[in-house]
């Protein structure tokens, strides 16, 4: 599916207040074989802070990663609001929580996923509010990883989230769309036109939430079906569009 490029950001600024919601992996940083192998560009944190100032603070990273993990990769401090763990952990720019407190990963899920990952030679990542099986380096195990995760989620009343070469277990009461709605109900986001930029399947709920509130989504890369209305080809083009 080929979508039109988004209007220039300056043109959108001229139409009224904006709120930007930005995925991290595959959107602000290039994907890597493992989560710890990403290499954010120098000065990314400062550039995001400047962008947030232009928006009056209405800028947030909305990611499957934990917020503390993102902060670690960009230099120790996240200078904008954020929603980590697929919307389970929502915080304002000062680090104060917004919405309900996130739930912790049950030990039984962690133990089962860790054992499965070791047996099947998959990457395993524990997050504060979920866990993931990565098969980028072992793609033949994709079907087995998803089948195992789906059954484990059903057994414990959790849900799965599918991404690029990854399947995650999360609590299920939050997603990237709910994170957008939480932000949009609070200052300085309230009343702005929301725009979500992302590359993965989990970003679709963010696209849809923004569309429901008078905004739109921007898909990074290619996908056959999407709720986004606009498209940018890659991470570099996202940085250019945002003026980072």
Residue 92 CB neighbour total at 10 angstroms: 18
**What do you get for the CA distance between the two ends of the chain, in Å?**
27
Phi-psi region of 214 (alpha: psi -120 to 50; beta: other; left: phi over 0): left
d(CA 76, CA 68): 8
Which residue numbers are catalytic? Answer: 23
Within 8 A by CB and 6+ apart from 168, the residues are 64, 86, 127, 130, 131, 132, 133, 149, 160, 161, 162
**Of 1, 4, 7, 32, nearest in space to 222 by CA:** 1
Which among 68, 83, 87 is positioned nearest to 168, based on CA atoms? 87
Chain centre to alpha carbon of residue 130: 14
- What is d(CA 177, CA 180) in angstroms, rounded to the nearest whole number? 5
> How would you class 132 by CB atoms within 10 Å of its CB: exposed for 0-12, middle for 13-18, buried for 19 or more?
buried
């Amino acid at each position: 599916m080929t979508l039109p490029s988004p209007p220039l950001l300056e043109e959108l600024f001229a139409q009224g207040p904006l709120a930007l919601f930005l995925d991290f992996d595959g959107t602000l940083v290039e994907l890597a074989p493992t989560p710890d192998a990403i290499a954010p560009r120098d000065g990314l944190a400062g550039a995001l802070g400047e962008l947030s100032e232009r928006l009056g603070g209405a800028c947030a990273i909305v990611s499957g990663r934990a917020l503390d993990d993102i902060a670690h990769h960009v230099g120790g401090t996240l200078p904008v609001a954020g929603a980590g763990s697929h919307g389970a952990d929502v915080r304002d720019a000062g680090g104060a929580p917004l919405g309900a407190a996130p739930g912790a990963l049950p030990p039984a899920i962690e133990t089962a996923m860790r054992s499965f990952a070791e047996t099947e030679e998959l990457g395993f990542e524990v997050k504060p509010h979920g866990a993931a099986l990565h098969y980028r380096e072992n793609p033949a195990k994709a079907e087995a990883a998803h089948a195992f995760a789906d059954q484990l989620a059903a057994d414990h009343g959790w849900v799965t989230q599918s991404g690029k070469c990854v399947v995650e277990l999360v609590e299920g009461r939050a997603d990237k769309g709910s994170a957008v709605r939480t932000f949009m109900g609070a200052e300085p986001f309230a009343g702005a036109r929301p725009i979500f930029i992302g590359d993965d399947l989990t970003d679709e709920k963010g696209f849809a939430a923004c569309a429901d509130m008078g905004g739109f989504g921007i898909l990074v890369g290619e996908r056959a079906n999407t709720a986004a209305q606009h498209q940018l080809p890659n991470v570099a083009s996202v940085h250019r569009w945002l003026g980072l």
